[in-house]
Amino acid sequence: MGMYNILKTEVQCAYCKNFFEGNIQFKFGDTWLYEYSIGDAIKWGGLDVGSSSYDKVKVYGLLEEDKCLICGLEIEYEYDIIVEKNIIKCVIPISSMDEYNSTDGNYHVL
C-alpha cells in the first residue's frame, strides 16, 4: 500500500453487533503514518494525496483486521471515510468501489 495514514475508530461487527477499536488505513492528505480520530483535521504539506481545497470527499479505507475481535467472524473491511473541509467526519462501510477508479482508488470528490 506504500505510505498511508491510520484512522483509529470504533467499527461494528455486522454479526454480533459489538463494537471494537479498529485501525483503518487510508491515503489522503500528507501520507506519513499519521494517526487520526473522527473530528481531526487532515495534515498537508508532504507526501500529499488529494488536495486540501476539496469541500467534501470520501476516502477509501481498509480495516487492518478482517475478522471481528469479539466473535471471530469475517467482517466488512472496506470503508468510506467522509472528510469535509479537511475534517474527518465519519466512517461507514463502503458503498461502491466504482467512484474510486478515477483517483487510483484513493478518494472521490463529492
> What whole-number distance in Å separates Cα of residue 67 and Cα of residue 53?
36
Which structural domain range is residue 92 located in?
5-109
Cβ count within 10 A of residue 47: 12
Among candidates 17, 36, 14, which has minimal Cα distance to 81? Answer: 36
**How many domains are there within the chain?**
1
Is residue 102 very low, low, confident or very high in pLDDT (cuts 50, 70, 90)?
Answer: confident
**Residue 1: what pLDDT?**
55
Its pTM stands at 0.93
Among candidates 17, 22, 2, which has minimal Cα distance to 91? Answer: 22
Q: What is the DSSP letter of 87?
A: E
Over residues 76-83, mean pLDDT: 95
